Amino acid sequence: MPHPLLVSANDASTPIWLVSERTWPEIAGQLPPIARGFAKAQGFEGKAGSHCLLPNTDGGLAGVVFGLNGTDARHSDPFLVGKLPTLLPDGDYRFETDPPNPTLATLAWLLGSYSFDRYRKRGEKSVRLVTPKGVEADEISHIADAVYASRDLVNTPTSDLGPDGIEAAARELAERHGAAFTSIVGDDLLARNFPMIHAVGRASITPPRLIDFTWGKADAPRVTLVGKGVAFDTGGLDIKPASSMLLMRKDMGGAAATLALASMIMDAGLPVRLRVLIPAVENSISGNAFRPGDILPSRKGITVEIGNTDAEGRLILADALALADEESPDLLVDFATLTGAARVALGPELPPFYTDDDALAADIARHGMAENDPVWRMPLWAPYQSQLDSKFADMNNTGGPMGGSITAALFLRRFVSSAQAHVHFDIFAWNNSTRPARPEGGEVQAARAMYALLKERYGV
C-alpha cells in the first residue's frame, strides 16, 4: 500500500510551483497580487533550492514556490525537491507545475522525509504529497520503505546491531516474503567449509555467521546477491586509529544495500530465483584473533596470506562468493564498504563498480544515471594482480600502496569462475552531510540502479 506520506488526491492540498530563475517571472505574473508582492518582498528569485511560503488574504498558506537547478527546470536535480519535507509545515501538498521527472521527485519527497529517531525523538511531522499523475505509488512506496529500513540498519550502532542483529533483520525480511532462510553460526562455519568467515569473526563475543535465504521459483533466472556484513571493524590486530573507527558501524553497509535490493525484488514479484548471502561478523580483538602473517584456507581451495587484518571484508566475501559461484548464477552481485581507496578515487557519492561484462556495465551506468543513483565503472586491470602475490600462499589479502580498490576487486574475482556475470560495488554507505533526499548518516547506494536493471531484464 502507498507510503503514509503519499495521498491519492486532496482538493484542499496546497500547490507548489516549481520554478527556475528563467521561468519565475512568468509564473509570478500568474499569482494573486498579494502572493506575488510577498515573494518580491522576500527577495525570492527562483534560485536553486530557495523557497517562499505564499500567504492568502486571511494570513493562511496559499501556496509555495520552490527553485530548481539552473535556468531551465528540465535540467534540474531530480532530488532537489527532497528538501521540501524539511522546510514545509504540516499539511498536504501537490505539484502545481510538473517536475521534470515526477517519479524521482516523488521518491525524493519520501527519502527527504526520512529521519533516524531510535535514540532521540523528534517532533512528529506529516508533510504529505498528492501522488503526481503517472507515478506508481505502490512501487515508489516499496522502494522508499526498503531504503528507510536499510538506512536504519546502517545508522544503528553495533551495541544494538551485531552480527546477530543483522541476521534478525534478514530473517524478518525473508519470513515476510516466504523465503527459505538458514544461518550457519560459529564453529559450524568450519564444519561447513567457510574458514575465512570464521577466522575474521571468531574474536568477537558474538559468533560469526553466514546468512542465506532463497526466494522465487527454482527454474527462474538465478540472481544472487552477496553483502558484506561487518557489524563493526576495529581493524583487528592491525588496529585502526580512533578517528577511523568512528563510522565503523557502517561497515555492514553492503549487507544493508543487499537487503534493500532484495526487498525491492520481492515486493515487485520479479520472476527470478533470488538468493541472498550475507557473511556477518565483527572484526574484533582477543587472544584468538587472526594475525598478520597467518595463512588461511578458503572455501574455494585458494590459500590466503594475511598482509593486514584490516582487509577483512574481502576475506568473508570470498567464502560467500565461492558458495554463490557453485550454483553458476545468471547474475552475481556483491555490495561492500570495501576500501578507502575507492573514496580517494571517486569520493563518497560516486561508488565504483567492477565487471568483465561490457554490456552489463553499460546497463548499470545507464540505470544509475536514470535513477539518480550514480555509479562509475572502474577497470579490473589484470597487471595489478601481481600486487596480490604471496611467497608462501596462493595470494595475499592486500596489494600495493596504490590502486587499492582495483586490487580488492581483483582479489574477489579470483573466487568467481562459474557465474555467467559478476559485478562488484565498492560503496561508502554514508552521507557525510545532508543533501536533498539524502540526510546525513547511513545511505543505500547502487541498489536502486540494480533494481531498475533487474526490472528491465526480468520484469513482467
Q: Could you say which of 314, 413, 414, 438 is catalytic?
A: 314
- CA–CA separation, 102 vs 139, rounded Å? 13
Cell numbers at 55, concatenated: 500567504
CA distance 173 to 260: 10
Question: How many alpha carbons fall within 13 Å on the CB side of residue 456?
Answer: 13
Residue 86 has a CB neighbour count (10 Å cut-off) of: 14
3-state SS, the chain, equals CCCCCEECCCCCCEEEEEECCCCHHHHHHHCCHHHHHHHHHCCCCCCCCCEEEEECCCCCEEEEEEECCCCCHHHCCCCHHHHHHHHCCCEEEEECCCCCCHHHHHHHHHHHCCCCCCCCCCCCCCEEEECCCCCCHHHHHHHHHHHHHHHHHHHCCCCCCCHHHHHHHHHHHHHHCCCEEEEEECCHHHHCCCHHHHHHHCCCCCCCEEEEEEECCCCCCEEEEEECEEEEECCCCCCCCHHHHCCHHHHHHHHHHHHHHHHHHHHHCCCCEEEEEEEEEEECCCCCCCCCCCEECCCCCCCEECCCCCCCHHHHHHHHHHHHHCCCCCEEEEEECCCHHHHHHHCCCCCEEECCCHHHHHHHHHHHHHCCCCCEECCCCHHHHHHHCCCCCCEECCCCCCCHHHHHHHHHHCCCCCCCCEEEEECCCEECCCECCECCEECCCCHHHHHHHHHHHHCC
> At 362, which amino acid appears?
A
| Catalytic site residue from 240, 366, 435, 457 | 240
Dihedral sign, Cα of residue 25, residue 27, residue 32, residue 34 = negative
Q: For this structure, is 435 an active site residue?
A: no
Q: Is 240 among the residues known to form the active site? A: yes
What amino acid positions are annotated as catalytic residues?
240, 314
